[in-house]
Amino acid sequence: MGVKLLLEKAHVEGIRSYEVYRREGGYRSVEKALKTMSTDAIVDEVKKSGLRGRGGAGFPAGMKWSFIAKPEGVPRHLVCNADESEPGTFKDRYLMEFIPHLLIEGLIVSSYALGSHDTYIYIRGEYAWIVDILENAINEAKANGWLGKNILGTGFDCEIHVQRGAGAYICGEETALIESLEGKRGNPRLKPPFPAIKGLWERPTVVNNVETLASVVPIINLGGEEYAKIGVGKSTGTKLISACGNINKPGVYEIDMTISVEEFIYSDEYCGGIANGKRLKACIPGGSSVPILPANLLLKTAKGETRYMNYESLSDGGFATGSMMGSGGFIVLDEDQCVVKNTYTLARFYRHESCGQCSPCREGTGWMEKLLLRLENGQGKISDIDLLWDIQRKIEGNTICPLGDAAAWPVAAAIRHFRDEFEWHVTHAEEAQKRNYGLAHYAEPIHVPVTV
């Protein structure tokens, strides 16, 4: 059993209610932080903990906090990004649904550290029932003096507001989220200025993921240095992984980032192996936008070392032979799954979710979707594969926000590692409609030369 910090108490009966949560030691971090620590000390603790943003980019949270501008007389805001829309990711939903007070506790401490008197939770509209859970938790916290005016007699005022999104993936991007929160169309802003300087209503703002803010609670309770001892290297603490796809035990798992990918997939404590006795073909280890990896590159790096479930090891080899930790949406594909179809599904998603603001993403995502549909239906040409490669290359890095990259990477990685499967869809068009390409050499232990 690995260390559990976030979900340790998630299964205690009635933990959703304030009484049980408090009895189990909840809100200790608020007492500790507000009564004994200065705001700078909290930011320092978070810096020392090495906590990295859990939303996908993995940017050090303490660093992000220290960037916040502190102009005289201008309010600052903390925004909790609960717009969890990445396909394959459902960890924040689990956390908010089962142990909502943990998030509220983390929010109070973080708000205090950042000087935010009005803190917002921007939650995706589809999580309608969780809004009630959160608002209930906020009301309970308020009734018990953890929120509102003069918290614990320290003179610190804080209110938490829950705001529902209206169903747009792009509103998970921090500047689009801010626009949406302001009541505008959810288009990402151009950076700079960064939200830390001009965010919500032109005020300094920090936007953090649910899991990141919840992780502040154990950091304060344990101390940053103690927290940093869990995990390995720059991947400190624990990470929630939402595992799905063709595995025996899909669900949300808390790992301490020291276990190998192989152990995570096959051990009974976690995914419990591939469902129905099939073999592993490929995996998207960090949510739909990170590069897909074939089985052999997933379990071992290109150098033949074991791949571990942490930020560094998953991205070992760069995009040529590695992937990313991302948001922790672990999608497993068995030998019966078609990578072309999978790529098409993702491309369709990104075309539908592109905000349409900048041209490469608006036009390019639609083009890629059409080409992939044609390939999937056996009407493609060999030249379409190179064309897809060229389109993704021209989208990546040329857009306002990372959605362009997120749309380009899955296509690039699929072509990079599974080019023969794409070609097979062209050369064996009729057969491709009836059966899948299968495993080919993707699971073979020998190293597959990386194409392109």
Write out the residues near other proteins by the rule CB under 8 A: 168, 170, 185, 190, 351-360, 362-367, 370, 387, 394, 397-400
Q: CB–CB of 76/68 below 8 Å?
A: yes
The pairing of beta strand 329-334 with beta strand 239-245: parallel
Closer by beta carbon to other proteins, 149 or else 352: 352
Report CA 181 to chain centroid distance, whole Å: 20
- What gap in Å lies between CA 262 and CA 297, rounded to an integer? 11
Residue 140 or residue 173: which is nearer to other proteins going by CB? 173
What gap in Å lies between CA 452 and CA 440, rounded to an integer? 19
Least distance CB 402 / other proteins (angstroms): 11
CB of 53 to other proteins, least distance (A): 19
Could you tell me the smallest distance in angstroms from the CB atom of residue 355 to other proteins?
A: 5
In whole angstroms, the minimum distance from the beta carbon of 209 to other proteins comes to 23
Based on DSSP, count helices (H) and strands (E) in the chain, helices before strands. Answer: 19, 12
* Residue owning tokens 């926000």: 401
Closest to other proteins by CB, 137 vs 347, is: 347
Q: Which is nearer to other proteins, 189 or 281 (CB)?
A: 189
The smaller minimum CB distance to other proteins, of residues 359 and 427, is found at 359
Distance CA 57, CA 22 (A): 33
Beta-carbon-side half-sphere exposure of residue 395 (alpha carbons within 13 Å) = 33
The distance of closest approach from Cβ of residue 371 to other proteins in the complex, given in angstroms and rounded to an integer, is 8
User: In the complex, what is the shortest distance from the CB of residue 429 to other proteins, in angstroms, rounded to a whole number?
Assistant: 17
Give 298 or 358: the residue with its C-beta nearer to other proteins: 358
Q: At what angle do helices 39-49 and 210-222 cross, to 10 degrees?
A: 100
The least CB distance from residue 138 to other proteins, in Å, is 31
Which is closer to other proteins, CB of 237 or CB of 360? 360
Question: In this structure, is the dihedral angle defined by the CA atoms of residues 209, 233, 62 and 189, taken in order, positive or negative?
Answer: negative
Cβ–Cβ under 8 Å, residues 232 and 50: no
What is the smallest separation between the CB atom of 351 and other proteins, expressed in angstroms?
6
Q: At residue 99, what is the residue type?
A: I
- Tokens describing residue 331: 């999608």
Region of 361 (left: φ > 0; alpha: ψ -120 to 50; beta: rest) is alpha
Kindly report the backbone phi and psi dihedral angles of residue 426, in degrees, each rounded to the nearest multiple of 5, phi listed first: -90, -50
Residue 111 vs 365, nearer CB to other proteins: 365
